C-alpha cells in the first residue's frame, strides 16, 4: 500500500431537528455522518462475530464493489474489491451510471456471498469468497431473474432465498414506476435460483396510492417474524425506506401502518445543512443487542428544493429502535443527524484512512502498487500507467480514448468527499501537439466535467481549462474556458495544478513553486457537476488524466503527487 499521509480534523456536531445544537468533541464519544463521505451509494452490510463488512455500488468504475471492514461500525478500512479482474467485470461500452447496481453481501456457514446486477451487461449474478478481502469467484449468472437489486436470505437450516426488484405482474404496469418485489428459492451449492418466482410485494406499501420504485429488498428474521425492508419513491428527494413483515418467508407480507421508517422528503428544503434523498437501507444487529441502519443520503450545498450536490449519494449510519414489533430508523429525530453516540465506544479507534469529517490525504506514488482507493473509468485491458519507471511518480501514457467516450481512457480518479475541498497535483509533461493534454479532471460523467491541463497553443506550452459539451448537441467534446501561456523560465519545471470546490463555485489554479498558486479562473459554475443537472447515480471525481484526443502518440505524463483536503463547515 502507498504511504498515505492522513490527518483527521476530529470534530463532531450534534444536530437537533431544528439545526445545529451543540458542538461535540471526540471525548464525548460521538461519530460524524456520513460514515463514508463521497460517492459510496447503496450500502449493504453483514456482521460475522465481532466484524462488520460493508459494500457499495460502483456503476462503470473499476475495480467494482469496494469491501470495507470495521469492528466499531464507524471507522472503516478498505480491504479489497469484489470485482478486481477483467474476467469478472467487463465494462466496455457502458454508460457511467450503468454497470454495477446495488450489491448485497451475506455470510453463511463459512462463506461470503455477494449478489448484484450488471445493468446493460450480463444481468444478475452471485459471487462467493472465503475471505471478504478476496479473491472472489467468477460471477454465477442468473438468467431467470428479470430485475435488479438482488439479495440473499439464509434460514438457520441452510435454506436460501433470492429476493429482488422486478417488473409489474404480467409485465403490465398500472402506472410509471410500478414494480414488484419477488422471491426465488436459491440453491447455494449450485449458485442458481430454482423453481418459479413468487411476488411478495406488488407496487409498494399501498398500491392504491401508486407508489413508485419499490426496490433494494432485504429479508431478515427477528423473533417470530420475517421482516422485508425496501426502498420506495425513487432515489431523489422522495426517497424513503419502508418495512413489511410476515410469519412465513414466502409471505404474505403486511406493511407497517406507520411507514416509511426513514425519509426526509417532508422536511423544509431550506433547513440548514440538510441531508436529503435518504433510503436504500440495510440493518444490522451489533453485539450489544442494539440495531443500526446504514443507508444512502445526499448533502446539498444550495437551499433549494431537491438541492444541488456534487458528492453523490453517500453512506450514513443511524440507530434503529424496535417499536411495537417494527424497526424504526432514526426514531428520536425528524432530521438525520450529523452526529450520534458511538455504537461500540470501547472498540472505536481512528481510521488510518478517514472517510468522515474533515481530513487531508496525500499520495506520493512511492509504492510498487497503485493505492486501492484510486478508480479507473471502466475496465482496463492494458496497463497504461507505471509506478516503477520513475520512483515517486506515476507515469501515465497518453491514450487516444477520452473521458467523453465509453471505453477505458487514461483516467485515475478519487472521490470528491466534501462540499468544500481542493485537489492538487504536480505534473511533468512536455506536449508536442495541441491534441496532447494531461492534467486534473473534475469529473461527474462523460458530458459533465472540467479539465485543467497542460498543452500547446501556437507551438508554445499553456495551461488550459476546458468545459465539456453535450455531444448530442455539439461535435466538439470540450470548450476552452481559459488559457495562460507558460513563460520560458517555467516551461521545463513541474507544473502544479489545483482545483478548489466551494459548494457551487469552483476555482482553478496553477503554479511552479510550492505554495505559490496563480489563479487561472474562479467562480466557475459548480452546479454543472451536480446530479441535478448532470443526472445519473454517481458523484464527482478528481482524476489524473492524459489524452491525445483520438490521435496515436508515444507521449507520457508523470504525476509527482496528489493531495486532497476536505474542509466542510458542518464539522468545524
Q: Would residue 155 show up in a list of annotated catalytic residues for this protein?
A: no
189, 197 Cβ separation under 8 angstroms: no
Q: Would residue 505 show up in a list of annotated catalytic residues for this protein?
A: no
Cα 515 to the center of its chain, rounded Å: 31
DSSP string, 27-69: GG-EEES-SB-SS--S-EEEEETTEEEEE---BTEESEEEEEE
User: Three cell numbers at 252?
Assistant: 404474505
Alpha-carbon distances of 531 from 64, 289, 313, 317, 453, rounded to whole Å: 21, 38, 9, 22, 24
Name all contacts of 177-183 with Cβ < 8 Å and 24+ positions apart. Answer: 177/210, 177/211, 177/212, 177/213, 177/234, 178/203, 178/210, 178/212, 179/203, 179/204, 179/212, 179/213, 179/214, 179/215, 180/214, 181/214, 181/215, 181/217, 181/228, 181/230, 182/147, 183/249, 183/250, 183/251
Round to whole Å and give the CA distance between 456 and 462. Answer: 6
Round to whole Å and give the CA distance between 331 and 552. Answer: 59
Round to whole Å and give the CA distance between 216 and 165. Answer: 7
Please, which residues have CB within 8 angstroms of residue 295's CB and are 6 or more apart in sequence?
43, 241, 262, 278, 279, 280, 281, 282, 315, 316, 318, 329
DSSP 8-state secondary structure symbol assigned to residue 399: B
Alpha helices (runs of H) in 52-204, residue ranges in sequence order: none
Say which of 72, 84, 149, 215 is annotated catalytic: 215
67, 51 Cβ separation under 8 angstroms: no
490, 471 Cβ separation under 8 angstroms: no
Round to whole Å and give the CA distance between 249 and 405. Answer: 45
Parallel, antiparallel or unpaired: strands 339-341 and 541-547: unpaired
Round to whole Å and give the CA distance between 374 and 371. Answer: 6
Q: Which residue has the cell 497553443?
A: 457
DSSP 8-state secondary structure symbol assigned to residue 532: H
Residues annotated as catalytic (active site), given as ranges = 42, 215
Amino acid at each position: 500500500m502507498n504511504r498515505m499521509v492522513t490527518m483527521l480534523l476530529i470534530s463532531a456536531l450534534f444536530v437537533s431537528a431544528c439545526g445545529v445544537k451543540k458542538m461535540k468533541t471526540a471525548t464525548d464519544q460521538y461519530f460524524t455522518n456520513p460514515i463514508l463521505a463521497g460517492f459510496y451509494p447503496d450500502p449493504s452490510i453483514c456482521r460475522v462475530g465481532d466484524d462488520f463488512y460493508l459494500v457499495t455500488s460502483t456503476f462503470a468504475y473499476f475495480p467494482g464493489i469496494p469491501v470495507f471492514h470495521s469492528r466499531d461500525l464507524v471507522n472503516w478500512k478498505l480491504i479489497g474489491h469484489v470485482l478486481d479482474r477483467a474476467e469478472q467485470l467487463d465494462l466496455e461500452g457502458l454508460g457511467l451510471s450503468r454497470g454495477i447496481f446495488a450489491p448485497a453481501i451475506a455470510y453463511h456457514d463459512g462463506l461470503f456471498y455477494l449478489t448484484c446486477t450488471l445493468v446493460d451487461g450480463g444481468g444478475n449474478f452471485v459471487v462467493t469468497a472465503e475471505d471478504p478481502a478476496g479473491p472472489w469467484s467468477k460471477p454465477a449468472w442468473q438468467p431467470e431473474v428479470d430485475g435488479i437489486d438482488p439479495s440473499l436470505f439464509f434460514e438457520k437450516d441452510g435454506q436460501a432465498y433470492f429476493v429482488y426488484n422486478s417488473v409489474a405482474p404480467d409485465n403490465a404496469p398500472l402506472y410509471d414506476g410500478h414494480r414488484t418485489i419477488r422471491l426465488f428459492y436459491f440453491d447455494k451449492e449450485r449458485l442458481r435460483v430454482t423453481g418459479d418466482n413468487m411476488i411478495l410485494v406488488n407496487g409498494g406499501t399501498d398500491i392504491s396510492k401508486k407508489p413508485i420504485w419499490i426496490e433494494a429488498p432485504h429479508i431478515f428474521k427477528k423473533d417470530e417474524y420475517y421482516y422485508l425492508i425496501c426502498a420506495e419513491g425513487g432515489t431523489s428527494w422522495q426517497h424513503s425506506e419502508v418495512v413489511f413483515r410476515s410469519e412465513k418467508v414466502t409471505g404474505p407480507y403486511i406493511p407497517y401502518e406507520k411507514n416509511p421508517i426513514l425519509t426526509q422528503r417532508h422536511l423544509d428544503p431550506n433547513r440548514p445543512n440538510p441531508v436529503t434523498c435518504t433510503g436504500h437501507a440495510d440493518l444490522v444487529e451489533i453485539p450489544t443487542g442494539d440495531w443500526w441502519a446504514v443507508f444512502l443520503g445526499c448533502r446539498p450545498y444550495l437551499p433549494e428544493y431537491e438541492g444541488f450536490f456534487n458528492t453523490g449519494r453517500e453512506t450514513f449510519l443511524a440507530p434503529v429502535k424496535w417499536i411495537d414489533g417494527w424497526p424504526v430508523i432514526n426514531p428520536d429525530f425528524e432530521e438525520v443527524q450529523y452526529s450520534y453516540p458511538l455504537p461500540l465506544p470501547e472498540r472505536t479507534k481512528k481510521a488510518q484512512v478517514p472517510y468522515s469529517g474533515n481530513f487531508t490525504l496525500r499520495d506520493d506514488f512511492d509504492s510498487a502498487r497503485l493505492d486501492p482507493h484510486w478508480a479507473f473509468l471502466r475496465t482496463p485491458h492494458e496497463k497504461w500507467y507505471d509506478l516503477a519507471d520513475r520512483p515517486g511518480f506515476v507515469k501515465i501514457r497518453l491514450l487516444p480514448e477520452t473521458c467523453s467516450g465509453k471505453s477505458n481512457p487514461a483516467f485515475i480518479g478519487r472521490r470528491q468527499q466534501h462540499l468544500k475541498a481542493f485537489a492538487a497535483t504536480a505534473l511533468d509533461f512536455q506536449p508536442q501537439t495541441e491534441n496532447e493534454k494531461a492534467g486534473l479532471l473534475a469529473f461527474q460523467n462523460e458530458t459533465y466535467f472540467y479539465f485543467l491541463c497542460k498543452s500547446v497553443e501556437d507551438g508554445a506550452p499553456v495551461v488550459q481549462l476546458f468545459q465539456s459539451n453535450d455531444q448530442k448537441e455539439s461535435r466538439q467534446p470540450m470548450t476552452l474556458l481559459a488559457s495562460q501561456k507558460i513563460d520560458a523560465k517555467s516551461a521545463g519545471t513541474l507544473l502544479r495544478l489545483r482545483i478548489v470546490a466551494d459548494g457551487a463555485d469552483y476555482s482553478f489554479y496553477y503554479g511552479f513553486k510550492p505554495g505559490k498558486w496563480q489563479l487561472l479562473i474562479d467562480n466557475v459554475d459548480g452546479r454543472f457537476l451536480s446530479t441535478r443537472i448532470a443526472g445519473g447515480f454517481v458523484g464527482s471525481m478528481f482524476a489524473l488524466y492524459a489524452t491525445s484526443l483520438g490521435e496515436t502518440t508515444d507521449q507520457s505524463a508523470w504525476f509527482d503527487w496528489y493531495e486532497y483536503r476536505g474542509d466542510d463547515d458542518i464539522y468545524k
